[in-house]
Structures are given as structure tokens and as C-alpha cells.
Amino acid sequence: MKMKMNMHVSNLLLCILILIHSSLATAENVTADELYEIASSLKMFVDELPKMPTLKGYMLGRDGDLKAGELRIGMFEKKWKFHRDFPSSTVFAYGTSRESASVPGPTIEAIQGVETFVTWENHLSSRLFLPWDPSLVSAKPRNGGVPTVVHLHGGINEPESDGSPRAWFTAGFNETGPAWTKSQYHYVNVQHPGNLWYHDHALGLTRENLLAGLVGAYIIRNSSVETSLKLPSGPEFDRSLLVFDKSFAKDGSIYMNATGDNPSIHPQWQPEYFGDAIIVNGKAWPYLNVKRRKYRFRIVNAGNARFYRFAFSNGLSMTQIGSDSSYLPTPANVTKLLLGPSEIADVIIDFANSSTDEAILTNSAAYPFPNGTVVDDLNSKVMKFMIEKTMKPAINQPGSRKFMKFLMEKTKKPAISQPDSRIPERLVRYPRPNKNDIAQTRYITLYEYDSATSLPTHFLMNGLMFDSPVTETPRQGKNELWHIINLTQDNHPLHIHLGLLYALNQTKLVNLSDFQSCMQTKNDAVACNISNHAQGRVIATPANERTWKNVFKMRPGYMTTILLTFSLLDSHQPYPFNASAEPGYLYHCHILDHEDNEMMRPLKILE
């Protein structure tokens, strides 16, 4: 639902500040056509997909036992080359030193049950090099500096180590936000094995800091659970792919708009950022040489707002084995894979089944999703896989019958370098969602508010600002049923901190305009008879997402029903930390431009 709101910013100084900052922080505004032309000048598939550096989140003791690991990871400003033929770009990058810092940052490998301590260090300069909007509620240090704070997305950790937006800090911890408590974060790694990622979460600046490069992968492993699955393994055959999009100015600098859609309200903010170049592991449209065998790819949508509907140009299928931080109970074969911002898909691709020697990973998701612009020649392509060629018999060439037989056998059976790699019929079984054990039922309504010119000004959940008193107070160890009612035109990937969600179904709302009118007045789904309106088409959760997740895509015009649990999934044990401590947790839309403009709410866990 779009709610009209006439808003005016009377403080002229605000506009002056943003204009001055923008002129310092980015190249001059250029048109969309010019940005497209710059990106289209880059030849695709000329940079090899990088292998990201790895850090072990554990140590081996003298007796061979696993012990807690301690890491110091900094945030550095440096130059990064996104394409062979393009100037280097200024970025923010995670790493153990400025020289080793990378975009994305190093992949942290942890072991289930073995703690990891990370001291996140801010080494950034005195200002953000991208434009920002001081009209938003955001971290504003009094003495300058770039505010940062790290959230381990999908992590089940104490509130003090969750990366609260108000726990920000500047270089050398010279200045800290009101929720900051300590410099060393404690990741207990007690949750089930799976895929996570880490990224910046500074209040009102998440979209800038992630666009600048502050993202990285985090994997929790457990050999007793995973070895028997015999999935592709090792650094060559088990790869993380962090996918995001950027636009660039001619000088190579990352481009972000300096003027907002409603400049009298928000001088710089726009409702979504979409880049023209698709970046994978820090390279624009890279390629990867692969053998005709199975590979495992842990795909993270690390972009600001773009959804991806992945598919292969030659029709090659994917077998999904996990979604977000959890395995699926059984593999799911897909030819198209929809991934919203911040979602993770764990897939197996068997290139032995490819009918061609090349396959382009494509994207067909409109932007904004689902009713926006159709993809173009640039953002419809992600990367290319160069597949080991099969040996074909030379029918008309002279040669012995023995050699011809050899060629035919090579054609039928390409070399497999890891013959014990397989896709098991069953993966990992977790407890099923129990709809008969619900401690609380809640209704969460998503709103979009527009200016008099019908352009978005901000997004709210249940009509509440981020700073409004907490209303969601689940108890540790209990389950809750949430009905998410999306009255906007966008699909919103809703992310829950700490808790795990299981999407049950999505129900189309009927007589939507009547319901919207009532909600605009009462802002109460029950009082507006939601049961009479949630009577339309029911869409079951796709097979490749039927597991415990931390993000789910909220379809516009539908009520999405999710079951939330606030306990450890595979052990049913309580959290080994005080989850009710301050600063608490969050839930929010993971379109970063929405999250930074009020589509985020506090989550307080009760004992």
C-alpha cells in the first residue's frame, strides 16, 4: 500500500551539507545511459573468478584437539581492480592487513562447537567516499570518521556480538555508538553446520558500506555430519560465490547517486540501488574453467537491492542442497533459482551433464522485483563456465580401430577427478515445524509511504519507526507464528536476527483495496478482518526452500505465514548465552535502501 504523506525539510542547511558532501565523495552525476555505456565498454568473461582468501576460525592444540580461534580483521580503504581493462576503484575491504584485504573479504571457516573470537578493527579514513543522506536516522560521529559494525548474517550469537546498528565504531574505537560494548566479538558456533556471511550494519549507512565492499563469507563445518554426504569438497570443487552489482564512473570509481528522488525530503536517498555491472567474487562478469564433474557452489546474494533468477544458458540444471544456513532434507533439482538480497543457495552443478563446452550463468529477475524493469544485455549475464572439452572421435581420419575405440570411450566417460563425490538421496533432517506448539501469533504489515509526487519516502513495518518501542518480544525456546502482510508493490526479503524461520505458505489477499483502506485507518490486521481477505490463491513454499532459513521473500499482495523458533535447531538446547541482554536483536527488510530508511524493527528476547 502506498500511503501519501506531504513532508518538507525546512532546514536548508541539511540540503547544503549533502550537496557539499556529495561533491567531495563521488563523481558528478551522470545519466543512466552514460553509466550503461561505461559498463558496456567492459568485455565480459575476461577475468578469471578469484579464489577468495580463507581464515581459520579455530586453532589446533599440541595434542591435536581443536581450540578456540582468535582473529583480528580490519576494514581498510584501498584500490581494487574489478576488471582487467578498467581503472582501479576505491573500496572498503576486509582483511588482516591493507595489502591482503579483498572484496569480498576472506572466507572465515569455523567448526561447529569451537568458538571463534574476532576483533573487528576500523582503519578507515575520516570520511565515506560515497554520498550519504543525513536526513536518514544514521550513525553520525561527532568527530568525523566512517562508522562501521559487523553483523554475522545467520549467526546465533549473543546480542553484544550480533552487530547492532547502534554498536558502531570509528577508527581506533575513537568514537562508538550507544549500543557498543566491546571490541572483540564472540561467535560460539554452536548452531548446525551451514553457510553464513558477514557484512557491515552501521545505522543508516549499510547500503553505502556494503556497496563500498564490506562483505565476506563465513562457513560452519561439522565433519561428523557432512563427511558421510560425500559432497564435492576441497578449495577447487567447493567454492563460495558472492554476487553483487555496481555502476562505475569513467575514472573507475564506484558510482552512487548524489541526488534523491524526493530531494526536498531526502536529498540523496533513493528507494533501490541497481548497478549495471554484475560482480562475482570481486570481478565483473568473470569466467571459471571447470572439469566435467560435480562442483559445489555456495551462492550469496550480497547486493543492495537486486534479485537474481539464475539459470544456465544451455539448460543445465542445478541441484540445491541448502538454503541460507541450513541443509535441505533432500536435494531439489532446479533449472531456475530465485535469490533475494542476502539469501544463500547451496547448489551442486554436475558439468558432466553439460551439452556444451561453455555455459553462461544468466539472470532474468526484473528490478525492482517482481514488477520492475526487464533485464538487459548487461545485468542478464552473471559469469561464464568454460567446461572441459570432451574428446570427439575423428570419424574420417586414419587410425587404428583400437584408437577409435579409445576415443569413443573417452567421449562417453569424461575423466572424473573425484569419483566418490556424489549427490545423496537424503541430506540432513531437522525437526519439522510444529504448528501445534505456538506460544504467540503476530501480524506484521509492510507499508510504503509516498510523497505528493507518488515517489517513495520511506518504508515501515506495522507503521512503526525503528526507534519506536519494541513490540516483538518472543521467549527463548518458544515458537511463534508470524503472518507477514505485504501491502507494497515490492517483494521484501525479510531477515530475522537470531531466530530461524520456516515458511509455511503464502496466501493472496482478496478485496485488497478495501483491506488497504481499513489498514490505513486502523493499522490493525485483526480489526480489519484479515481472515476474510486472506482467502485467495495459496502458494506452497518451493521445495528448494523447505528448511529452516533466516530470510524469506515476502510476495506483494500476499500474506506470508512463517513459523519462528528461538532455540538451537539440532540439539533443542537453550542458547549458551544471555539472549535477553542488550542491545537485543532485529528483524528487517534486506533491501538495504529500505533497511536504512526505517524498514527495521527491534526484537527483544525474553527468558
Please give the Cα distance from 229 to 424 (Å, whole number): 6
Asked if 563 and 468 count as a contact pair (C-beta separation under 8 A), the reply is no
Question: What's the confidence (pLDDT) of residue 598?
Answer: 98
Question: What's the confidence (pLDDT) of residue 17?
Answer: 45
- Number of CB atoms found within 10 A of residue 392's CB: 10
Cell, residue 160: 553484544
Asked if 362 and 312 count as a contact pair (C-beta separation under 8 A), the reply is yes
Asked if 552 and 559 count as a contact pair (C-beta separation under 8 A), the reply is no
**Buried b / exposed e across 241-269, counting CB within 10 Å, b at 16+?**
bbbbbbbbbeebbbbbbbebbbbebbbbb
Q: How far is CA 83 from CA 55, 80, 290, in A?
A: 25, 9, 21
Q: Across residues 382-389, what is the average pLDDT?
A: 96
The whole-chain average pLDDT of the chain stands at: 92
Q: What is the pLDDT of residues 307-333, one digit of tens each?
A: 999 999 999 999 999 999 999 999 999
Q: Across residues 251-278, what is the average pLDDT?
A: 96
Question: What's the confidence (pLDDT) of residue 28?
Answer: 56
Please give the Cα distance from 604 to 159 (Å, whole number): 10
Q: What is the DSSP string of 28-71?
A: PP--HHHHHHHHHTSPTT-SBPPPPPEEESEEE-TTS-EEEEEE
Question: What's the confidence (pLDDT) of residue 1?
Answer: 58
In terms of CATH architecture, what is 2-224?
A: Sandwich (2.60)
By three-state DSSP, how is residue 227 classified? Answer: helix
Cell, residue 82: 574489478
Asked if 273 and 212 count as a contact pair (C-beta separation under 8 A), the reply is no
Asked if 112 and 220 count as a contact pair (C-beta separation under 8 A), the reply is yes
The sign of the torsion formed by the CA atoms of 266, 272, 278, 279 equals positive
Q: How far is CA 145 from CA 28, 204, 318, in A?
A: 23, 15, 44
Q: For residue 6, is pLDDT > 50? A: no
Q: What is the DSSP string of 432-483?
A: PP-TT--SEEEEEEEEEEE-TTS-EEEEEETTB-TTSPP-B-PBTT-EEEEE
Question: What's the confidence (pLDDT) of residue 422?
Answer: 83
Q: Residue 110: CA atoms inside 13 Å, Cβ hemisphere, count?
A: 30
CA angle 576, 578, 581 (to 5 degrees): 155
Domain boundaries, the chain: 2-224, 239-412, 440-603
Q: For residue 337, is pLDDT > 80? A: yes
Same topology between domain 2-224 and domain 239-412 = yes
End-to-end CA gap in the chain: 36
Q: What is the pLDDT of residues 189-238, one digit of tens each?
A: 999 999 999 999 999 999 999 999 999 999 999 999 999 999 999 999 99
Please give the Cα distance from 475 to 584 (Å, whole number): 13
By three-state DSSP, how is residue 139 classified? Answer: coil
Q: Is 20 left (phi over 0), alpha (psi -120 to 50) or beta?
A: alpha
By three-state DSSP, how is residue 586 classified? Answer: strand
Q: Across residues 469-486, what is the average pLDDT?
A: 97
Please give the Cα distance from 283 to 296 (Å, whole number): 20
Cell, residue 358: 561453455
pTM over 0.75: yes
| Cis omega (within 30 of 0) for bond into 104 | yes
Over its C-alpha atoms, the chain yields an Rg (Å, rounded) of 24
Please give the Cα distance from 281 to 106 (Å, whole number): 11
Q: What is the pLDDT of residues 530-577, one digit of tens each?
A: 999 999 999 999 999 999 999 999 999 999 999 999 999 988 788 999
Cell, residue 14: 541539511
Cell, residue 324: 541460507
Cell, residue 201: 550494519
Q: Which CATH superfamily is 440-603 part of?
A: Cupredoxins -  blue copper proteins (2.60.40.420)
3-state helix, strand, coil in the chain (%, to 5): 15, 35, 50
Question: What's the confidence (pLDDT) of residue 419?
Answer: 54
Pick the CATH number of 239-412 from 3.40.50.720, 2.60.40.420, 3.90.110.10, 3.40.50.300: 2.60.40.420
Q: Across residues 27-43, what is the average pLDDT?
A: 90
Please give the Cα distance from 154 to 198 (Å, whole number): 9
Q: What is the pLDDT of residues 483-531, one digit of tens each?
A: 999 999 999 999 999 999 999 999 999 999 999 999 999 999 999 999 9
Q: Across residues 439-454, what is the average pLDDT?
A: 96
| Cis omega (within 30 of 0) for bond into 368 | yes
> Beta strands of 252-390 (E only): which ranges?
254-255, 277-280, 283-284, 287-290, 294-301, 308-312, 318-323, 326-334, 337-339, 344-350, 358-363, 381-387
